[in-house]
Amino acid sequence: MEIFQGKFESFDTALIAQKYLNTNDAFCSERWKSRQQLFLDMSREGISPRHSSLLRFLEENEQIETILDIGGGSGWIFNLLRAKNQRPLTYVNLEIREICNEFSKEFNDVKFVHFVDSWESIFNLKEISLVYSNSTLQYIPNETFFDNFKKINQPEYFVLDDFIATNSESYWTLQNYYGNFIPYCFRNLIEFNQNLLEQGYSVISVEDYPQTLAAGFLYGSETTPKTIVYKRGR
């Protein structure tokens, strides 16, 4: 069974091919919730279900106090961060409403964890030290991401794991995700970095991401999942 089908110039043309189905359905299905519950259970045992550079980054940058996780699923990463860092960390997980409703109750006794289901919910936060995302931006159009990212209150760092970068022009495809075909973006890395530079963020480190769905996927161009760290200029 093929993971990816088609090649489209934009998110809108991918939606047309997908017949405008609700893409959130793939991320609130029972299969997806079960997977996120498994990730949460594993993290409580000290096991990381996915590679995350955030653990090492926080060990090297002790000044980080507040993290915004874009598409953090069940919030599993917080358990690993808390186990490895003795200092208090505030963790804000931006997710779709169905996931927030399902998993926020798992952290009812943890005052440092907050689930939010809209970008607007984070704009008034006084301080976010770091924005993080692991294998999520490929589902978000550039316009949506950059229009909202610039309204966040000046995070010092932006850390991406499993960021799908390509040396060719950016394009969209449809990913078979638990039986739902949803738009999925392969972004031109130079173009993406330039957009961030215009918002004051420069690349300070890049390395290959060791584990990903698209690791062996070539679509007529060189495509490499990356871990990238950006820092805001003074």
Q: How far apart are CA 173 and CA 175, in angstroms?
A: 7
Per residue of the chain (234 residues), what is the pLDDT tens digit?
Answer: 578 888 999 998 998 887 656 666 767 788 889 999 999 999 999 999 999 999 999 999 989 999 999 999 999 999 999 888 877 899 999 999 999 999 999 999 888 999 999 999 999 888 899 999 999 999 999 999 999 999 998 899 999 999 988 888 899 999 887 777 889 999 999 999 999 999 999 999 999 888 555 544 544 445 678 899 999 986
Nearest alpha-carbon partner for 64 in 44, 42, 40, 92: 92
4 strand-pairing partners: 175
> What does the alpha-carbon distance between residue 170 and residue 11 come to, in Å, rounded to a whole number?
11
Say what the pLDDT of residue 22 is. Answer: 66
What local confidence, expressed as pLDDT, does residue 2 receive? 74
Give me the pLDDT at residue 190, please. 94
Determine contact, residues 226/203, Cβ cutoff 8 Å: no
Q: Identify the domain containing residue 92 by its residue range.
A: 4-232
| 169 CB neighbour count, 10 Å cutoff | 11
**Per-residue confidence (pLDDT) for residue 65, from 0 to 100:** 92
83's tokens? 């186990």
HSE-CB of 31 using CA atoms within 13 angstroms: 6
pLDDT at 66: 94
Pairing of strands 223-232, 201-208: antiparallel
The domain tally of the chain equals 1
> What is the pLDDT at residue 84?
84
Q: Are 7 and 18 in contact (CB under 8 A)?
A: no
**For the domain that residue 160 is a member of, what is the CATH number?**
3.40.50.150
Report DSSP state, residue 170: -
Closest by CA position to 158, among listed 202, 192, 119 = 202
Identify the DSSP state of 14.
H
Confidence (pLDDT) at 216: 46
